[in-house]
């Protein structure tokens, strides 16, 4: 998978204000523009100040890489600072989406699901690298959103030195009124092209659109796609 290094520039003077990375620059740009009250980062505040004046930052992809991207992001942040640009980046780069948050710098300890201690780490990033997973997966476990990391490991805050209790076991969810056929697997028809598809997923792939777009049309929330296609259930 390719990772892209991009910059955000002030549209008033073209000064570079932020250096970032993304696997999907277009989606990342959209997320930059969304107002999030809890986001107190310098970059977010800068972008919101532009939006109040009817302006938006300019995104430009400046580099790309396949594989380890951390060093490349760090290189460009350091390079732009060397050139005299005052960046809104919180860190030196290489931490990923959650790198600017304090949670990443808190130590954690990993255990087997039986509760046997494995290793302690100075940060969630080190833990993620050790188990070859993402920092967001580690965060989900230490914050209680998920029980296990990679279905094998418990992750707890702090530098711990003793074994802990086994991970709790939960029964799989049992449907009380499980439908015989999932709504995604029902046949639908494209009215304009007179084509029948075995599922909404097949139709979405054929027209390169989102499944939710088709579902909104079938359920009356929308009339047609941007390409002028409408669908009916069979």
Tens of pLDDT, residue by residue over 103-151, are 566 789 999 999 999 999 988 888 999 999 888 888 888 888 888 999 9
- Let me know if residue 111 belongs to a domain: yes
Phi, psi for residue 219 in degrees, rounded to 5: -95, 10
Three-state DSSP state, 228: coil
Alpha carbons within 13 A on the beta-carbon side of 133: 18
Q: For position 19, which CATH number holds?
A: 3.40.1440
Three-state DSSP state, 156: strand
- Let me know if residue 60 belongs to a domain: yes
Helix H or strand E segment including 189? strand 188-190
- Of all residues in the chain, what percent carry a pLDDT higher than 90? 41
Q: In this structure, what token pair is assigned to residue 178?
A: 């499980």
Same domain, 73 and 22: yes
Indicate the residue among 122, 141, 157 that finishes a domain. 157
- Let me know if residue 147 belongs to a domain: yes
pLDDT at 98: 43
- Least confident range of 18-22, 96-100, 113-117, 142-146: 96-100
- Per the structure, the count of domains in the chain is 3
- Let me know if residue 164 belongs to a domain: no
134 is in which domain, residue-wise? 102-157
- Let me know if residue 128 belongs to a domain: yes
- Rounded to two decimals, what is the model's pTM? 0.44
> Residue 21: how many CB atoms within 10 A of its CB?
24
**Residue the block writes with tokens 């300019």:** 58
Same domain, 138 and 203: no
Task: Give 19's pLDDT tier (boundaries 50, 70, 90).
Answer: very high
- Let me know if residue 37 belongs to a domain: yes
- Let me know if residue 162 belongs to a domain: no
């Amino acid at each position: 998978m390719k990772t892209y290094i991009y910059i955000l520039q002030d549209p008033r003077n073209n000064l570079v204000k932020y250096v970032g990375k993304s696997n999907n620059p277009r989606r990342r740009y959209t997320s930059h523009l969304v107002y999030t009250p809890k986001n107190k980062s310098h970059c977010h505040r800068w972008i919101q100040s532009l939006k109040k004046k009817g302006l938006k930052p300019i995104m430009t992809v400046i580099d790309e890489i396949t594989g380890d991207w951390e060093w490349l992001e760090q290189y460009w942040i350091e390079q732009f600072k060397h050139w005299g640009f005052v960046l809104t980046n919180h860190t030196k780069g290489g931490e990923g989406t959650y790198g600017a948050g304090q949670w990443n710098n808190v130590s954690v300890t990993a255990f087997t699901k039986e509760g046997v201690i494995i290793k302690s780490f100075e940060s969630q990033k080190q833990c993620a690298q050790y188990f070859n997973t993402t920092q967001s997966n580690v965060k989900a476990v230490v914050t209680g959103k998920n029980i296990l990391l990679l279905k094998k490991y418990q992750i707890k805050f702090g530098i711990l030195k003793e074994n802990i209790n086994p991970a709790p076991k939960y029964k799989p969810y049992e449907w009380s009124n499980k439908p015989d056929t999932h709504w995604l697997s029902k046949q639908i028809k494209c009215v304009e092209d007179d084509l029948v598809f075995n599922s909404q997923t097949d139709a979405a792939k054929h027209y390169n659109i989102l499944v939710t777009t088709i579902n909104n049309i079938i359920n009356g929330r929308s009339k047609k796609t941007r390409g002028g296609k409408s669908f009916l259930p069979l």
